[in-house]
A and B are shown apart, each in its own frame.
Chain A
Amino acid sequence: MDNQFQSLSPHPLTEAERLIMELERRAQALQEDQEQEPLVSLLTFYLSDEWFALPLEKIKVVTRIMDVTPVPGTSPFILGVINHKSAIYPLIDIHQLLKVMPPEPTRSSRFVILQHDKYTLAVLVDNMGEVREVKSSDLDKYVTNHRGTSIFISSELTIDNRLLGLLNLGAILNTVSEGEIQPQTRPKD
């Protein structure tokens, strides 16, 4: 009976076996951590009813509408320059580029001042959204051509059953300046 009882009882783990199990658990946890993708913060905003976003890291400040000084001889997409805290920023209007009907500016309109490469500029938006965090792999979903605006949108995401377009600032600036800025590649990383 004594021998039978010993054979039915669980075999006590040796110290080596416990260490092996612990190492396996840690390895598995490490692998799971590595599989978790980094998140990218996006500042979302609206042009008319359409939802767009820019990487939060590029945003310097969001400001209320202020006086705009027209600049002669500019591209039709440049509304002029603004004076924000004694710094001068070109203000661009991307409604036309994105084939969005520009509404009249309202109380909700904002200027988003952002930095792209060495250029700092302001973009007119109709309404601000919230900051969203998305997986970096979601940004690799390139846009199929529709309305001829796909070059200005680097990726499209579906969040809360709504379509969110991440703007391709390089392509936008390249078009706005009519080739005076070298074309940028898609921001894959």
Chain B
Amino acid sequence: MLLRENRDHSSGYGHAYNINSPAFEVQSGLDQTVELILVQVANQPFGLLMKQVYNIARPEANLFSVKSQPDPANGREWAEIFYQGKTLSVLELASKLHLTPAEPLDTSKILLSGQFVPGGTIQQPFGVSVDDIIGVCHIGLDHLRLLDDWVCRKRLGRLIWGVALVGRETLTHHNGSGELQPASPFSGIISETGPLPGQVQRNKNGRIAPAPTGSSGLEDRSRVKNNLPEEQPVMLLDLEILRATLYRS
């Protein structure tokens, strides 16, 4: 099962292309990929559609300076930065996801987004701050899954629109600190869980055979590998939802 981007290429002057929407149409038989930018927020990877991001402002390059921090008490949930001589509103992705950011705004990376219109101009620009940028990857559309509405739509709306199955090697952190993944409540015992009843080995007398002793390290590794799929689910976020939220308010 593959997915096809649902583009609204309605003709006529002044129509905005709906190329930012992550809404996809199910279609089979096509070999397509989608380009994702993987970011880190609160030590968890998230995926954003590359086509929704037009630039990245990194703090080390002094590309931006913080003008004002969010002021939720007065109804302003966004920060403001100076970027290329203009003031730009920036939303903190961690707070939108009800997570705790690891980096303050002035040291976080800011993804620049907006509404792309024909002619290359960008309307309603805004920024989204993330803790770090993991990288860019191409994911086959057959590796995208939709998330059931009841899982998180009540609190987050359509901000999380799906899940991508991303290879674990892609999520290896660039600074060599190891694999980036959220803290699973079962990570300590994943390799220790016993066999299922149907997997119990019985000898020819019908008795349960004892577990082989002295198993090689290779077998141990493969056992762990079997419990850890090669692909890790990564939540996919829709920046259009944040833009609509920002400019509606």
Contact = CB atoms under 8 A, between A and B. Distances in A.
Interface residues of A, number: 42
Classify chain B's interface size.
Answer: 35 or more
Contacts, number: 127
Given A62-B196, A66-B190, A108-B194, A72 B149 contact: no
A148 interface: no
Contacts of A106: 189
Contacts of B189: 65, 105-107, 109
B152 A65 contact: no
A176 B154 CA distance: 11
A71 interface: yes
A73 B196 contact: no
Contacts of B241: none
A72 B152 contact: yes
A180 B185 CA distance: 26
Contacts of B233: 69, 81-83, 88
Interface string A29-46: 000000000000000000
B160 A64 contact: no
B150 interface: yes
Given A81-B151, A105-B186, A180-B154, A71 B193 contact: no
Nearest to B237: A72
Interface string B205-237: 000000000000000000000011101111100
Most buried by A among B44, B151, B185, B194: B151
A153 interface: no
A119 to B, nearest CB: 6
Most buried by A among B187, B227, B229, B233: B233
25 contacts: A64-B195, A65-B190, A65-B193, A66-B186, A66-B227, A67-B184, A67-B186, A67-B190, A71-B160, A72-B44, A73-B156, A73-B159, A74-B151, A74-B152, A78-B151, A83-B229, A83-B231, A86-B231, A88-B145, A88-B147, A88-B233, A90-B151, A108-B193, A177-B150, A180-B154
